[in-house]
Amino acid sequence: MRLLVAEDCGFIGSNFIRYMLKKYLDYEVVNLDKFTYVVNPADFKNIEANLNYSSIKSDRCDSVIVNEIMKKADKVVHFVAESHVDRSIDDGSIFVRGNVLGTSVLLQSALANKIKKFSNLSTDKVYRSTKEGSFTETDNLNPSSPYP
């Protein structure tokens, strides 16, 4: 099984990959990450030594590179995000490019390459902010910033 993980270097992606490589010894994990300012090298230090792991530094908006990686993948898990709410309020354009266009590039490529399963991680902030309670996937989308 060859798994493309878009974002291994972020907080959640690095932990996800560490878990998958430990649990599924026959999985090959390929990661695509732009290594933005949020990346803490300590979060993925131990992962790099695993022979079933490889990493490609690229922007997910680069359809040529995304396609090259996607050709060899069976399944995709997508965590990548510009993920800081306050920055998105200061300048939403980076978020629209990275989060909307980037997700679209990955989805189009997955479709073209007949990927068996595509999982997309997002945030409950797509619904709105809440101090209590929770949302369901059928709630109306009502984000209060460009981030989600």
Ligand X SMILES: NC(=O)c1ccc[n+]([C@@H]2O[C@H](COP(=O)([O-])OP(=O)(O)OC[C@H]3O[C@@H](n4cnc5c(N)ncnc54)[C@H](O)[C@@H]3O)[C@@H](O)[C@H]2O)c1
Residue closest to ligand X, measured at CB: 10
> Any contact of residue 12 with ligand X (CB under 6 A)?
yes
38 binds ligand X (CB under 6 A): yes
Query: At a CB cut-off of 8 Å and minimum separation 6, what does 42 contact?
Result: none
Beta bridge partners of 117: 75
Instruction: For the beta carbon of residue 16, count every other beta carbon within 10 angstroms.
Output: 19
User: By C-beta, is 10 or 146 nearer to ligand X?
Assistant: 10
In the complex with ligand X, the residue whose CB is nearer, 8 or 28, is 8
By CB under 6 A, the count of residues binding ligand X is 25
Contact indicator for 18, 48 with CB cutoff of 8 Å: no
Task: Provide the strand spans (E) within 2-144.
Answer: 2-6, 28-33, 53-57, 75-78, 117-120
- Name which of 61 and 115 has its Cβ closer to ligand X: 61
Does 66 participate in binding ligand X (rule CB under 6 A)?
no
How far apart are the C-alpha atoms of 106 and 126, rounded to whole Å?
20
Any contact of residue 29 with ligand X (CB under 6 A)? no
Measured distance CA(29)–CA(22) in Å, rounded: 11
Which tokens belong to 128? 């709105």
56 near ligand X (CB under 6 A):
no
Residue choice 9, 47, 70, 76 for contact with ligand X (CB under 6 A): 9
β-bridge mates for residue 57, sequence order: 33
Q: Which is nearer to ligand X, 18 or 60 (CB)?
A: 60
Which residues would be at the binding site for ligand X (CB under 6 A)? 7, 9-13, 33-36, 38-39, 59-61, 79-83, 98, 102, 121-123
